[in-house]
Structure 1
Amino acid sequence: MSGRTDPILVTGTAGFIGHAVAHRLLDRGERVIGVDIVNDYYDPKLKEARLATFQGRNTFAFHRADIADAETMAKIIREEGVRRVVHLAAQAGVRYSLENPFAYERSNLAGHLSIMEACRHAEGFEHLVYASSSSVYGDKPMGGEGFTEDEAAVDPVSLYAATKRACELMSQSYAKLYGFPQTGLRFFTVYGPWGRPDMAYFSFTQKIMRGEAIEVYGEGKMARDFTYIDDIVDGIVGALDHPPEAGGHRVLNIGDSHPVGLMEMIEALEDAVGQKAEKVMRPMQPGDVTATFADVSKLHALTGYQPKVMLREGLQRFAEWYRGYYGPTA
């Protein structure tokens, strides 16, 4: 149990990862201030249902606000006495960035700057942990080793990736200029209960259960480092508890470090759902990368991070949640 009285601000608490992180922090006795704009990038009903799970948790307070509203963010952090922030709110999605680029400018760039400005003016501020993405590595060849944080990450293939890399550089400059510790976490394909409907495993489940064909991009030759939500939360909270020294900034991979081919994932999902999928093979879409593979040795050395849930078990848990939330014939 935490003996602290100052709250932790978690942005994106109506989102997939933010919802899970906030509950974990509450479970260990923290006070949590949640912030989310609850936009309609995907079904707002799912976001509202996530928020409803906080009912009865007396140490949770929620602000429906835009993270790019710098004045509001500064006021919340100042008046609540926030010393630690887990900044997970962002405009997600590689493909959506091709259609709505200015949504990424506001949420990812202006939003990140807004949070940093509020943190640097906060009295006694201790640590900003923020979400980056494995997409910053670009479509690099994957050999036997995972992607490492020391790689240059200078060739993003989507605007989404470019904004996430920009956030890392912004944080690097703010850490040097203003001396407050920051940690950026490069997430690798997070999945599990309460997940995002725009993710492949989620949309595939919907279509398989409805008897609809699924579109398999990259001719099924892509691979992803699927990471279960509980393991991701372990890493986020571990990083939060181990801030860099004053003025320090670092980026850390957070993934499973066991990349799985897309066709293997589909097979595991078919087993979890109990139905076979009709597959329509498609070429790779603009902005996608062939494979992702996390080297998590730095996070492990810092926090003891060790993913525990393998893909088949995680997809079984997701399928069970899906049936419970949407019904057996959704």
Structure 2
Amino acid sequence: MAVALITGSAGLIGSEAVDSLVARGFDVVGIDNDMRRRFFGDDASTSWQKSELERRHGRRYVHEAIDIRDADALMTLFDRYGDSIRVIIHTAAQPSHDWAAREPFTDFSVNATGTLNMLEACRTHCPDAVFVFTSTNKVYGDTPNRLPLIEQDTRWEIDPGHPFAEGIDESMSIDQSTHSLFGASKVAADVLVQEYGRYFGMRTGVFRGGCLTGPHHSGTMLHGFLAYLMKCTVTGTPYRVFGYKGKQVRDNIHSADLVSAFHAFIDAPHAGEVYNMGGSRFSHCSMLEAIALCQEIAGRPLSWSYEEQNRVGDHIWYVSDIGKFRRHYPAWVQQYDLTALLRDIHDQNVERWHAGATR
């Protein structure tokens, strides 16, 4: 029996990974205690996705409502499955700048200590498993804001002559910048995962995501901006834009494209490697451009307002250079550009949103 263990299994990336790994013949153990509900309220709860996973996969999916901060509970679970665990995908996290500032101890214990607990459980019980970690571009702090940026009508854009013109690669420093407390806790986790690969020789991989999104996203005002933006457009819910004149730029990757990248790594892991992974120039937009496209797809206007103060550590322009991953895994193909991504979010959720569902 080949087992895959996924934390945050009812979340956006976790649930996509469950479906994909079951299809590849794995039995999947999911760890998710729905802390997203505590972080962001009932509308952000992933309990609906847990029920869907159990319905779709039956006995091929076992759900464990374990808190990753509970090292003893994790050790007990890992001991139960032992070296039958071949793959670990660690997506569970506290993902919000604002929330981290309110509860720094909780943020750090989930993001950093929880990751350490997972690594030690893996090293103890299944050291040959491939360990995939979803990090974040926020490990670079606000260093991207020092790039030479040019204001255009609907976006900020980088000087086309700059070495990062096609996107930011892994050579950017993560040091001496303002990260937000969330970014700092993810830096700790990111470096731990690298170190377990380099020091212990474990098959770990770090994926520093841009904006990860897709139709499974339980988006809220504080996290999951594209899914939440589309939901607000469809339902008539007011939306707020924070800072940078609404011209801040993000690259956006569909959860299915990210999980297919995980599979490429799982099949041929590079121990301790780090990859920037996002939509790249293939799928990116400013806030103003995202609003316009959501309105076009939904066929209705969005009610939105602007607050001049940006969030601490927020990026003005961030596009991932995914060239290193493409060099290591040339067969991997990105399927969803921005329009296809937003249409998928809309088409898979519009009826549910109109019916008043809380996701």
Post-superposition offset of 1:328: 5.5
Question: Is structure 2 residue 306 aligned with structure 1 residue 305?
Answer: no
Aligned equivalent of 2:342, options 307, 315, 319 = 315
Distance 1:156 1:17 in 2: 27
Give per-residue Cα distances to partners, 1:9-34, cap 9 Å, x unaligned. Answer: 11100111101111111112111111
- Counterpart code for 1:112: T
Change (3 A) 1:158 1:265: same
- Counterpart code for 1:243: P
Post-superposition offset of 1:100: 2.2
Question: Is structure 2 residue 261 aligned with structure 1 residue 261?
Answer: no
Does structure 2 conserve the Cα–Cα contact (< 8 Å) formed by 1:242 and 1:302? no
Change (3 A) 1:170 1:124: closer
Does structure 2 conserve the Cα–Cα contact (< 8 Å) formed by 1:189 and 1:226? yes
Distance 1:195 1:123 in 2: 30
Post-superposition offset of 1:123: 4.2
Question: Is structure 2 residue 121 aligned with structure 1 residue 118?
Answer: yes
Does structure 1 conserve the Cα–Cα contact (< 8 Å) formed by 2:168 and 2:321? yes
- Counterpart code for 2:307: R
Aligned equivalent of 1:200, options 215, 225, 242 = 225
1:1-330 map, 5 Å: 5-39=1-35, 40=37, 41-43=39-41, 46-54=45-53, 55-57=55-57, 58-81=59-82, 82-139=85-142, 140=144, 141=147, 142-143=158-159, 144-154=165-175, 155-198=177-220, 199-218=224-243, 219-244=245-270, 248-258=271-281, 259-283=284-308, 284-303=310-329, 304-327=331-354
SS in 1 for 2:88: strand
Give per-residue Cα distances to partners, 1:178-211, cap 9 Å, x unaligned. Answer: 2212101111101220213222223333433343
SS in 2 for 1:112: helix
In the superposition, the TM-score normalised over structure 2's length comes to: 0.84
- Counterpart code for 2:251: D
Post-superposition offset of 1:327: 2.4
SS in 1 for 2:133: strand
Change (3 A) 1:18 1:156: farther
- Counterpart code for 2:299: G
SS in 1 for 2:206: strand
Distance 1:311 1:73 in 2: 38
CA-based RMSD of the aligned residues comes to 1.9
Distance 2:235 2:354 in 1: 12
For structure 1, which segment, 97-106 or 44-53, has the greater mean C-alpha deviation from structure 2 after superposition? 44-53
Does structure 1 conserve the Cα–Cα contact (< 8 Å) formed by 2:194 and 2:274? no
- Counterpart code for 2:131: L
Distance 2:174 2:127 in 1: 32
SS in 2 for 1:150: coil
Change (3 A) 1:223 1:122: same
Post-superposition offset of 1:286: 2.0
For structure 1, which segment, 55-64 or 65-74, has the greater mean C-alpha deviation from structure 2 after superposition? 55-64
| Structure 1: unaligned runs, 5 residues or longer | none
Instruction: Kindly report structure 1 stretches of 4+ aligned residues shifted beyond 6 Å.
Output: none
Give per-residue Cα distances to partners, 1:257-310, cap 9 Å, x unaligned. Answer: 123111111111111211112332222222311121111111112223332211
Give per-residue Cα distances to partners, 1:37-88, cap 9 Å, x unaligned. Answer: 1122235574111111222522211111011111111221221122321111
Give per-residue Cα distances to partners, 1:163-189, cap 9 Å, x unaligned. Answer: 111112222333344221210111110
Which is helix-richer, 1 or 2?
2
Change (3 A) 1:44 1:38: farther
Change (3 A) 1:201 1:171: closer
Distance 1:202 1:130 in 2: 22
SS in 2 for 1:53: helix
| Structure 2: unaligned runs, 5 residues or longer | 148-157, 160-164
Change (3 A) 1:216 1:32: same
Change (3 A) 1:29 1:260: same
Change (3 A) 1:73 1:270: same
Change (3 A) 1:211 1:62: closer
